[in-house]
Structure 1
Amino acid sequence: MRSLGALPKPVLILEVIGIAFLLLSYLSLNGYVALPAPFGNATAAIIMVFLGIALMIPAAAFMVWAMAQNVAPLLTKGQSPVKKSLSDKPKDKHDDADH
């Protein structure tokens, strides 16, 4: 995965909304932003933190899956055929008695 722009648009939008919830909860808990009554208390801020984290999980899962596909292709694709080792091949014996 080369950049965040490679994420699908719905996942990227969820990521941005999650970050916005986390930022809004931080600003409201520290008193920088005054939110309306139902959203201005500490319980609502805690709910916004959990909601922001939950909205960021799909992007993290997508990035982990893309990394697994790039780094370890045996985890996501079929196993490659087993190569014959050198010990399975017949060896030429130079010390044969019938030459």
Structure 2
Amino acid sequence: MRSLGALPRPVLLLEVAGIGFLLLSYLSLHGYVTLPAPIGSASAAIVMIFLGIALMIPAAAFMVWAMAQNIAPLLTKGPLPEDKSPTDKTKEKRDDADH
């Protein structure tokens, strides 16, 4: 995969939202940002961490699938067509009995 820009737009948006949740939970837990009462607790920050990781899973799965298609095309595509053109091997088989 060449870049993250090659990801589909919905997957890329989920990735950005997941990173945002992880960043917000980190800043909240370390006291850099004060959040409102319902989402300012430590248990809400833990929920944001799990939510951020869950939102990042589709991008990771898409990148693994794209890498599998690039590295191992036989796993994702059918068998390669055989070459029907005559080669030296067929000629050798035909002339093999001429010794």
TM-score tier after normalising by the smaller chain length:
0.7 to 0.9
Which consecutive unaligned segments of at least 5 residues does structure 1 have? none
Counterpart position of 1:92: 96
Flag the structure with higher helix content: 2
Counterpart position of 1:35: 35
Kindly indicate whether residue 13 of structure 2 is the aligned counterpart of residue 9 of structure 1. no
Kindly indicate whether residue 71 of structure 2 is the aligned counterpart of residue 71 of structure 1. yes
Shift, 1:80, TM fit: 2.3
Distance 2:98 2:80 in 1: 35
TM-score, normalised to structure 2's length? 0.83
* Count of paired positions: 91
| Bigger radius of gyration among the two | 1
Distance 2:61 2:9 in 1: 15
Counterpart position of 1:46: 46
Q: Which amino acid aligns with 1:9?
A: R
Distance 2:79 2:37 in 1: 58
Q: Deviations over 1:53-95 (max 9, x none)?
A: 0000000000000111111000100122578xx7xx7362565
Q: Which amino acid aligns with 2:96?
A: D
Identity of aligned residues (%): 75
Which ranges of 4 or more aligned residues in structure 1 deviate by more than 6 Å? none
Q: Secondary structure at the match of 1:92?
A: helix
Over aligned residue pairs, what C-alpha RMSD do you find?
Answer: 1.7
Which consecutive unaligned segments of at least 5 residues does structure 2 have? 84-88
